[in-house]
Amino acid sequence: MDVKKTIIEKIWEQHIVRSHTGEPDLLYIDLHLVHEVTSPQAFEALRLTDRPVRRPDLTLATVDHNVPTQGRDLPNPDPLSTKQIETMQKNAAEFGIPLWDIFDTRQGVVHIIAPEHGLTQPGMTIVCGDSHTSTHGAFGSLAFGIGTSEVEHVLATQTLPQVPPETMSVEVTGSLSPGVTSKDVILAIIRRMGVDGGVGRVIEYRGELIESLSMEARMTVCNMTIEAGARAGLIAPDEVTFEYLKGRSMAPQGEAWDAAVKDWSSLKTDNGAEFDHSIVLNGSEIEPHVTWGTTPAQSVPISGRVPGPEDFTTAAGKETAERALTYMDLESGQRIEDINIDRVFIGSCTNGRIEDLREAASVLKGKRISETVKAMVVPGSGPVKIQAEAEGLDSIFKNAGFEWRDPGCSMCLGMNPDILLPGERSASTSNRNFEGRQGAGGRTHLVSPTMAAAAAVAGHFVDIREI
């Protein structure tokens, strides 16, 4: 009888260059994405050791973390950012790597640009010096974040030594209730798993609810896999995946397309294959979520209240909750709907795609944001921006009082001027609510695009199901 395998094991085995007892497996990397922040030291090391980039044709670079989202044609006031962007340009030119540079219409957040051109495909191994590389798993690829030493390793050898992960099935049954999005699903999953529940594991998301999601919604789920500590998360490719890829410029065309679909279809987990770990969530019970603390696992349904130290059993849990409440300036027992916000950020590799903007715009149509709120939309990429403008979404946002910006990471991490001031509180569609993530002293609540839009109008969190 054949050994039953999970999709994770299948992709892994197809990429083993060398396997030797007592050593990690040496895996071949099909695609290496590069951005300006985590790569300069890697290129410098190549220069010092006189090593070339082995496969520039399997490498793609962009600038996203540091770029300003307005006034790009003006001189960048930040000399350090300028230097880092120029360093990326110089490195790409010297090592022969394609770069979607700041004025290229294809420029955008690294995890948005590869999928939208059909470059991210099922069955691939994909790495990037960025923890949210897990996003690409939505296509049934094994995609994970790496550090700068590993970036150098991949540039030099197109391989990475890796210890095989444990496998985990996260099954979500049922269907999305009205007003609930894939962002709420992944927040619910992280809340259940905890921020370290996935350490050492690769997750396959499965089940009826996951299958019902669009590609973009699947990317939101896989994107935040790292927030549960897992190395990667993926979803088996199916008709939804193929439909999305078909016709995109970097996807296979003609006869090659049919052959590719056949290969991709063989990737899914065999019936009866066993996972090392598994959990099941009833998706129909998931409500819109809002984070209250300083880790993505600290979330509650919108109908809920801010928990307190008394809600945690361990001493460490109590202490963590206490610290989070102090930082967030919240009180235990406070209703989530009573939390007022100052800023709204719609964007990032979690929720900066066209569907996200459409959903947010549908809430804002004909409305004005609260006078006490400053809000901005940062499309995830050039093509997302162009598409949104073609659909008139930019006017809806602008008429509602939002700023309409150029693509980049922006206030997701605030490496450019888009930051929270100390004490400011945001409703953000990004993925991390760590202390100071969006600006020193800033307080971040993670939500879906529709919840963010509704909060912008009300000036506080509201239940999207009631409007």
Partner 1 sequence: MKTIESIQGKTIPLNRADVDTDQIMPKQFLKRIERSGYGPFAFYEWRKEESFVLNDSNYTGAPIMLAQQNFGCGSSREHAVWGLEDIGVQAILAPSFADIFRNNCSKVGLLTIVLDQSDIDYLMSRAEELPDSQVRIDLSSQTVKLEGSDWQRSFEIDPFVKHRLLNGLDDIGITMQYEDEISNYESSRSSKKPDTSSAFEDTMKVG
- Positions touching ligand SF4 (CB under 6 A) are 64-65, 109-111, 130, 132, 348-349, 409, 412-413, 430-431
Length of the chain (residues): 467
Q: Which is nearer to ligand SF4, 186 or 321 (CB)?
A: 186
Q: Give the residue among 455, 456, 214, 222 at the shortest CA–CA distance from 355.
A: 214
Q: Which is nearer to ligand SF4, 158 or 220 (CB)?
A: 220
Please give the single-letter amino acid code of residue 362.
S
Q: Which is nearer to partner 1, 53 or 281 (CB)?
A: 53
Answer for the pair 344, 426: CB distance below 8 angstroms, yes or no: yes
Of ligand SF4, partner 1, none, which one does residue 251 interact with (CB within 5 to 8 Å by kind)?
A: partner 1
Of partner 1, ligand SF4, none, which one does residue 134 interact with (CB within 5 to 8 Å by kind)?
A: none
Q: Which is nearer to ligand SF4, 65 or 206 (CB)?
A: 65
Please give the single-letter amino acid code of residue 451.
M
Placement of tokens 């450019």 in the chain:
416
Of partner 1, ligand SF4, none, which one does residue 171 interact with (CB within 5 to 8 Å by kind)?
A: none
430 binds partner 1 (CB under 8 A): no
- The whole-angstrom distance between residue 323's C-alpha and the CA centroid of its chain comes to 26
Q: C-beta of 455: minimal distance to partner 1 in Å?
A: 23
31 binds partner 1 (CB under 8 A): yes
Q: Which stretch binds partner 1 (CB under 8 A): 124-132, 176-184, 336-344, 395-403?
A: 124-132
Measured CA to CA, the distance from residue 255 to residue 335 in angstroms comes to 57
280 binds partner 1 (CB under 8 A): no
Q: Which of 13, 52, 57, 331: binder of partner 1 (CB under 8 A)? A: 57
The enclosing H or E element of 98 equals none
Placement of tokens 């598994």 in the chain:
278
Please give the structure tokens belonging to residue 122.
């099922």
Q: Which is nearer to partner 1, 226 or 330 (CB)?
A: 226
199 binds partner 1 (CB under 8 A): yes
Q: Report CA Rg, the chain.
A: 22
Q: C-beta of 45: minimal distance to partner 1 in Å?
A: 8
Answer for the pair 225, 203: CB distance below 8 angstroms, yes or no: yes
Work out the widest C-alpha separation in the chain, in whole angstroms.
67
106 binds partner 1 (CB under 8 A): yes
Total residues binding partner 1 (CB under 8 A):
90
- Contacts (Cβ under 8 Å, ≥6 apart) of 430: 345, 347, 348, 350, 351, 411, 412, 413, 438, 444, 446
Q: Which of 10, 111, 183, 432: binder of partner 1 (CB under 8 A)? A: 432
Enumerate the β-bridge partners of residue 25: 162
Of partner 1, ligand SF4, none, which one does residue 161 interact with (CB within 5 to 8 Å by kind)?
A: partner 1
Q: What share of the chain is helix, strand, coil (3-state, %, to 5)?
A: 40, 20, 45
Q: Which is nearer to partner 1, 231 or 405 (CB)?
A: 231
Measured CA to CA, the distance from residue 75 to residue 310 in angstroms comes to 52
Of partner 1, ligand SF4, none, which one does residue 126 interact with (CB within 5 to 8 Å by kind)?
A: none
Q: Which is nearer to ligand SF4, 25 or 36 (CB)?
A: 36
